[in-house]
Amino acid sequence: MEILFAYEKPAEGAQFIDRKEEIARLFKCIKNKKKAVVYGSPKTGKESLVKNVYESLKRNGYRDTKITIDLFNIRTKEQFLDLYEREIIPIFERYNILSPLPLNIDINNISQNRLLDLPDLMNQHFGLNILIYFKEFQNILFFDEGEKFMECFAKILNKHNSANYIFTGSCINRMKYIFKETEWFSARDVEMIQLASIESKPFTNYIISTFQRTGRVIEQDMADEIYAFCKGHPWYTQHFASICYDSTIGYINTNIINHAKESLIYVHDAAFKETICELTINQINFLKAINDNVTRFCSADILEQYNLISSAHVARVKDSLLKKEIITVDDDGSVFLIDPIFEYWLKYYYFL
């Protein structure tokens, strides 16, 4: 059965909406062997972007060997190195038989640094186009002495100019910390591609045309409401549209829109409750201030109104919420909640 709104798997084809600038930037990085960092909150289309760019490259005659290193369940350096070895060594063995590397590499007793160097060495010696695609790269920071290992790994990667690397991660703050706030990677050697909301016009056009293609009707204002409610978040918007689509065989009206909103909230209600239960009262007070569009958190009246105690206390609470990936900070210093539906849930279901 055809999936009309892609929220159950990575979007591809016509379901992969817009992202023209991001596609062009990632395409250019791969062609020029520049390291690319694709980051954004969960379900913003990182995997979809990489998949669609990679398929486009293949259609244009680009030949390479893509190796996916998924760190979502990796929590130690040993697990990481084992995974890296399982993915890299078979390729090395395959080509080393035909044209051995002049480095006397013992694959049964390979050092950490030599293993991490292999993709670039293989590209140089075997004439390959190896592309290493990291998923949830920020998880390295969870290792014991994760920052020390990250610094070591970065020094190795910074010397590579033959292998391609794509680093993706769904923890915005940790990815920014790795690639922007430390000196582990040089800004000139890394392309930062943040996936934010998709533009309104292509998204609402897709919603309207998809309904029309199957004999259903949704007016522009209703499509606009779906988009605005989810703030253009790709996964939430697709899910919302899918609920509306499944709720009628004819016209979308306000009742269906309201029902779909409630259904979407209900699906995520348990996860939101779990999140809020793990927060302290001071963290909740800070979220209340954000929800009320406060910007000057340390002014005397705001400290008193939201019981935030002091400027130093605000800084500690803000830092704790950044580490939990509940909030983030824009380049201009604006603080906002990462998840648009959680933001709505707080405003209309929690902060009554």
- Same domain membership, residue 71 and residue 143: yes
Residues 23-50 pLDDT 10s: 999 999 998 999 999 999 999 999 999 9
- Which of 274, 304, 332 corresponds to the end of one domain? 274
Q: Rg of the Cα trace of the chain?
A: 23
Distance, CA of 53 to CA of 25 (rounded, Å): 10
- Same domain membership, residue 316 and residue 177: no
- Same domain membership, residue 37 and residue 140: yes
CATH number of the domain bearing residue 326: 1.10.10.10
168 membership: H or E segment, kind and range: strand 164-169
Distance, CA of 19 to CA of 248 (rounded, Å): 30
- Confidence (pLDDT) at 2: 66
Residue 168 in domain: yes
Q: How far is CA 51 from CA 32, 138, 236, 257, in A?
A: 18, 20, 20, 32
- Confidence (pLDDT) at 58: 82
Residue 13 in domain: no
Residue 199 in domain: no
- Same domain membership, residue 141 and residue 39: yes
- Same domain membership, residue 26 and residue 122: yes
Helix (H, G, I), strand (E, B) or coil at 166: strand
283 membership: H or E segment, kind and range: helix 281-291
- Same domain membership, residue 188 and residue 73: yes
The number of folded domains in the chain is 3
The parent domain of residue 99 ranges over 19-194
The answer for residues whose C-beta is within 8 angstroms of residue 91's C-beta and 6 or more apart is 65, 67, 122, 128, 130
- Same domain membership, residue 189 and residue 56: yes
CATH number of the domain bearing residue 124: 3.40.50.300
Reported pTM: 0.93
Residue 127 in domain: yes
- Same domain membership, residue 164 and residue 67: yes
- Confidence (pLDDT) at 8: 83
- Same domain membership, residue 172 and residue 74: yes
Distance, CA of 184 to CA of 181 (rounded, Å): 9
Residues facing residue 134 across a β-bridge = 69, 167
- Same domain membership, residue 146 and residue 57: yes
- Same domain membership, residue 213 and residue 183: no
Helix (H, G, I), strand (E, B) or coil at 251: strand
Cα maximum dimension of the chain: 73
- Same domain membership, residue 326 and residue 238: no
Residue 1 in domain: no
Q: How far is CA 71 from CA 9, 82, 120, 282, in A?
A: 19, 12, 21, 32
Output the DSSP codes for 57-98: HHHTT---EEEEEE-TT--SHHHHHHHHHHHHHHHHHHHHTT
Q: Spell out, as residue ranges, where the chain has pLDDT lower than 70.
A: 1-2
Sign of CA dihedral 215, 217, 220, 223: negative
Residue labelled with tokens 């549209």: 241
- Which of 245, 274, 303 corresponds to the end of one domain? 274
- Confidence (pLDDT) at 257: 96
Helix (H, G, I), strand (E, B) or coil at 165: strand
- Confidence (pLDDT) at 338: 97
